[in-house]
Amino acid sequence: MDEFSLIRRWFAELTPPGEGIALGIGDDCALLVPPPGAQLAISTDTLIAGRHFPQETTAADIGWKSLAVSLSDLAAMGAQPFAFTLALSLPAVDEPWLAGFADGLRECARTAGIALVGGDTTRGPLSITITVLGHLPPETALRRDAARSGDLICVSGTLGDAALALRFWQDGRAPASAHERMLRARLDRPTPRNAAGVASRGLAHAAIDLSDGLLGDLGHICQASGVGAELAIGELPASPAFAALAPTDARLGLQIAGGDDYELCLCVPPAQLEAVRKAYGALPLTVIGRIVEVPGIRLRDAAGAIVTSPAQAYRHFS
């Protein structure tokens, strides 16, 4: 099977064309028609086997996660998902693997309402590169450089689940209980918060998705906005599974530096907090701190004392 047969069989009709897709897979370029006057938001992510997902991760879970992590970038900007491309490197044509990968990719794409419009396939070590496109009205993007002193620092969902699942995998601990399976699902199939991101436009000042850990990602907001942050470590939201299984001495490090949460971290004016919570519906939104004028991120315990960070966020090449 050559690359063109592979594309026709597994990807040419993976998703419906979608509104605004004038021409999708099958030509030298895709032709897209975003809504009149809209700005385009574009982001690219590459996932490498053994670094971004465990080697034994199922093909369907790899397909889901490959798209979900890029969709999370659109969520952080408040952009509506629109179209995506896929560049896939494979060591060999493995039809059962391709079937599973396509199933997971299709499921995530349909959940988000995004269309596959092109890409590339080649022989090589397993890697997946996805570029996503979203659209949003001009001047409404949730940028990193717009946080203001006094903003409440909020996070959606819970923190630390995927990092704990990864630690269990590294220790050779297969998921057996319901709690362990839930944690592993958070690692293998993160939920991009696209609806929440769109709902945050006009309410939050700034946002970022939590991919490399709260400390590092919030640090990007602080650096871009020229501000600092104070976090109340006792307010970090935890799932029942994390609360039950995380070792006491590792909890803080997993929640602030573990990464792979793919939740939203928002800087919200106090007057808009309830409006954001109402817009999020059943998705929890937790206040974990406040933006301040003094640069740097400080962790405080329940008594207000400064706590030394037990870990740092993940950084490639460091």
Q: Is 43 annotated in some ligand binding site?
A: yes
Q: Is 262 annotated in some ligand binding site?
A: no
Q: Is 161 annotated in some ligand binding site?
A: no
Question: 281 and 219 in contact (C-beta within 8 Å)?
Answer: no
CA–CA dist 92, 3 (Å, integer): 11
Q: Is 249 annotated in some ligand binding site?
A: no
Q: Is 261 annotated in some ligand binding site?
A: no
- DSSP H/E element including 294: none
Q: Is 212 annotated in some ligand binding site?
A: yes
Question: Coil, strand, or helix at residue 110?
Answer: helix
Q: Is 217 annotated in some ligand binding site?
A: no
DSSP state of 86: E
Q: Is 2 annotated in some ligand binding site?
A: no
Q: Is 179 annotated in some ligand binding site?
A: no
Contacts of 31 (CB under 8 A, 6+ apart): 21, 22, 23
Distance of CA 232 to the CA centre of its chain: 23
Contacts of 226 (CB under 8 A, 6+ apart): 295
| Residue 308 token pair | 């030394």
Q: Is 211 annotated in some ligand binding site?
A: yes
For the chain, the maximum distance between any two Cα atoms, rounded to a whole number of angstroms, is: 64
Q: Which residues are annotated as a binding site for ATP?
A: 119-120, 144, 211
Q: Which residues are annotated as a binding site for Mg(2+)?
A: 28, 43-45, 73, 120, 209, 212
Q: Which residues are annotated as a binding site for substrate?
A: 52, 260, 314
Q: Which residues are annotated as a binding site?
A: 28, 43-45, 52, 73, 119-120, 144, 209, 211-212, 260, 314
